[in-house]
Amino acid sequence: MRLKVIASDFKVNIKAWSRSKGTLFWTLAFPVMLILIFGAIFSGVGEVEYELDVQDLDDSEMSHEFIKILEETGVIKVINVSVNEDIMSYIEENNIKRLLVIPEKYGEVIISSFGTNATVDLLFYFDQSEQSSNQVIRSVISNVIQSMNMELSHGRDIIKIEDIPTITEDFDFIDFFIPGMIGFTIMQTCIYGSIERNTKYRKYGILRKLLTTPITRAEWIFSKMLFMMFLSFLSSVIIILVGILVWGITITVDPLMITLMIITISATSFLFSGMGMLIGRFVKEEETADTAGGAISFPMMFLAGTFFPLDQMPEFLQEFARILPLYYVNEGLRNAMIYANQSEALLNSFIVIIFASIFFLAGVLLTKWNED
């Protein structure tokens, strides 16, 4: 492989791509447009005062005092949860986004804190998909705790906060939608790009011409994959930026999760480029191949839980979704980007890598440049 050839080919791809209004639209403007439209349709009215469910197991003067201070901040509206409620099922049943538990010994610990090392943990349950508002509330709570600690002991952390993430099925639509949009956009870009190269370039004689020049197929494929990954990451970044700036989604900032995201995005580029090669291999006419690409990618987009969760679909369709590669792309990206669910993110990105290897290898092995 000659780097110079690859670099020159890569450069030319970007040049040609940036001149095509059609491709620019589909790779950049279209996903942004969808996010804006769908986000506007599904997003609720923004919260002004945040509700916080509080279960006060201590029910002492000290705990009442604490709740009063929270309410006085003016940001939090406290909802009292009965002492008899089981917290986890309460959260699940009522779709609670955040909940604070004041433990039984709270008052006692504070009173006896002078001269001992005793501490008390407040339990903060929060839904990960609601990060932006939860961050606001959490910082309000910890500010309150900090000032109480200052007053009680000049800074020793008597009252502490323990974070307990919860996952309810009720994520914000936009959180669900953004990773799906990324998967969908990469799929479209790679399938159609690959189809174009394997049908139009064949018809135009470009592939035959290349056979008579010293460029190797490995160099060509390598530079094309670089280019496809460039587009995939560009679209992903733009989609995420719009998600953050316009809809205030929060993505997981964690080295492992970001690595998994990058791996999944790269593998997805290979996966759908391979799929496009296969389509172009068996359907030789460009227009027909484009139609075939649409016939494969559009149903997959709907069935693989890109725009709405699988459990809103009939059982048999949910089963069907589990054989679709895009499903694992979506799940992988969601778990890495939004839910920060390590094991799910790992599992799904692994499955995407397997799909990618199969499709890409099949694509490379079954397509050729020369005629029979």
Partner 1 sequence: MIEKNVRCPKCHEIVSFSGEPGERITVTCPKCGAQGKVTFEKLTTDKDFAIEVSHLKKVYGNLIAVNDISFSIKKGDVFAFLGPNGAGKTTTVEMIESIRIPTAGMIKILSKDIRTNFDDVKNDIGVLPQEFHSFERLTVKETLVYFSNLYKKQANVDEIIEAMDLKGNQNQLYTNLSGGLKQRVGVAIALVNDPEIIFLDEPTTGLDPKARREVWNVIAGLKKKGKTIFLTTHYMEEAEYLADHIAIIHKGKIIAEGSLDELLNRYGKGKILYIKRLKTKNVKELLQQKGFEVTSEENGDIAVRITYKEHVIEVLSALRHDCIDYGSIDIKRSNLEEVFLHLTGSKLGEVAS
Binding site for partner 1 (CB under 8 A): 4-5, 8-9, 12, 15-17, 19-20, 203-206, 208-215, 370-372
How far, in Å, are 48, 137, 142, 164 from residue 99 at the CA level? 18, 10, 14, 10
- Which residue, 220 or 320, is less far from partner 1 as judged by CB? 220
Contact of 202 with 277, CB cutoff 8 Å? no
151 binds ligand ATP, rule: CB under 6 A:
no
Measured from the CB of residue 239, what is the shortest distance to ligand ATP in angstroms? Answer: 43
Measured from the CB of residue 292, what is the shortest distance to ligand ATP in angstroms? Answer: 21
Q: Which residues contact 304 (CB under 8 A, 6 or more apart)?
A: 183, 321, 324, 325, 326, 327, 329, 330
Pick one of partner 1, ligand ATP, none as the site partner of residue 161 (Cβ within 5 to 8 A by kind): none
Q: Which residues contact 47 (CB under 8 A, 6 or more apart)?
A: 133
- The residue number whose beta carbon is nearest to ligand ATP equals 372
Pick one of ligand ATP, partner 1, none as the site partner of residue 15 (Cβ within 5 to 8 A by kind): partner 1
Across the beta sheet with 98-102, the strand order is: 76-81, 50-56, 98-102, 120-127, 159-166
Q: CA–CA separation, 207 vs 200, rounded Å?
A: 9
- Helix, strand or coil, per DSSP, at residue 163: strand
Q: CA–CA separation, 341 vs 317, rounded Å?
A: 25
- Which residue, 13 or 134, is less far from partner 1 as judged by CB? 13
Measured from the CB of residue 184, what is the shortest distance to partner 1 in angstroms? Answer: 25
Find where tokens 């406290």 sit.
Answer: 78
Pick one of partner 1, ligand ATP, none as the site partner of residue 213 (Cβ within 5 to 8 A by kind): partner 1
- Helix, strand or coil, per DSSP, at residue 268: helix
- Which residue, 86 or 371, is less far from ligand ATP as judged by CB? 371
Measured from the CB of residue 313, what is the shortest distance to ligand ATP in angstroms? Answer: 45
Pick one of ligand ATP, partner 1, none as the site partner of residue 154 (Cβ within 5 to 8 A by kind): none
Contact of 330 with 306, CB cutoff 8 Å? yes
Pick one of partner 1, ligand ATP, none as the site partner of residue 116 (Cβ within 5 to 8 A by kind): none
Can you say how many angstroms the Cα of residue 192 is from the centroid of all Cα atoms in its chain? 23
Q: CA–CA separation, 158 vs 118, rounded Å?
A: 7
- Which residue, 49 or 372, is less far from ligand ATP as judged by CB? 372
- Interface pick for ligand ATP out of 86, 151, 169, 372 (rule CB under 6 A): 372
Contact of 125 with 114, CB cutoff 8 Å? no
Pick one of ligand ATP, partner 1, none as the site partner of residue 77 (Cβ within 5 to 8 A by kind): none
Can you say how many angstroms the Cα of residue 221 is from the centroid of all Cα atoms in its chain? 28
- Which residue, 44 or 205, is less far from ligand ATP as judged by CB? 205
Measured from the CB of residue 198, what is the shortest distance to partner 1 in angstroms? Answer: 15
- Which residue, 20 or 139, is less far from partner 1 as judged by CB? 20
Instruction: Single out the residue of 36, 27, 44 nearest to residue 243, CA to CA.
Output: 36
- Which residue, 4 or 154, is less far from partner 1 as judged by CB? 4
Hey, what are 308's tokens?
């709405």
Residues 332-371, interacting with ligand ATP (CB under 6 A)? 371
- Which residue, 82 or 370, is less far from ligand ATP as judged by CB? 370
Strand partners of residue 166: 127
Contact residues: ligand ATP, CB under 6 A = 371-372
